[in-house]
Amino acid sequence: MVSQNDILEYIRFENNTGNRLKDYSILTKFPDAKPVLRKMVRAGILESRRDYESNGPGQREGFRWYEITARGLDLMETARKCGENLREKIDNGLKRDALATELEEN
C-alpha cells in the first residue's frame, strides 16, 4: 500500500512544476492509492475538486484533481523534521558505537 507521504511528495512536486494533478495521474503512478486519497481528503490533508475536459464535440470526461491543504503542508514539514531528527540520532548512535569500538581496541 502506498504511503500518504509518497502521495504528498508526488503532488507537491507536480504542483510546483505547474501541473494540476488529476486523479488518473496519481492512480497511474500508485495503482492502490484510491482508498488512501479518500482518507486524506476526509482528514483535510488534500482538497479534491471535480472538473471536466472536452474529448471532442459534445463529449466531456469528468475527473478529480487534488491540491495539498495548509494542514497537509504542516504535516509534511513535521514529517520532514522528524525524519531529519531520526537520521541525526542514528548517525550520532553510529559514531558513538564506532568510538566505543575504537577505544576498546586501543
CATH number at residue 48: 1.10.10.10
Q: What is the pLDDT of residues 9-65, one digit of tens each?
A: 888 887 776 666 677 778 888 888 888 888 888 888 888 888 777 666 777 777 777
- In the chain, the number of structural domains is 1
The least confident of 5-14, 62-71, 94-103 is 94-103
pLDDT for 18 = 63
pLDDT for 98 = 62
Q: Give the Cα separation of 87 and 10 in Å (integer).
A: 22
Mean pLDDT of 84-96: 60
What angle, rounded to 10 degrees, do the helices at 4-16 and 34-42 form?
80
Q: Please give the residue range of the domain that contains residue 52.
A: 4-105
pLDDT for 81 = 74
Rounded to two decimals, what is the model's pTM?
Answer: 0.60
Beta bridge partners of 51: 63
CA dihedral 83, 85, 90, 93 (to 10 degrees): -170
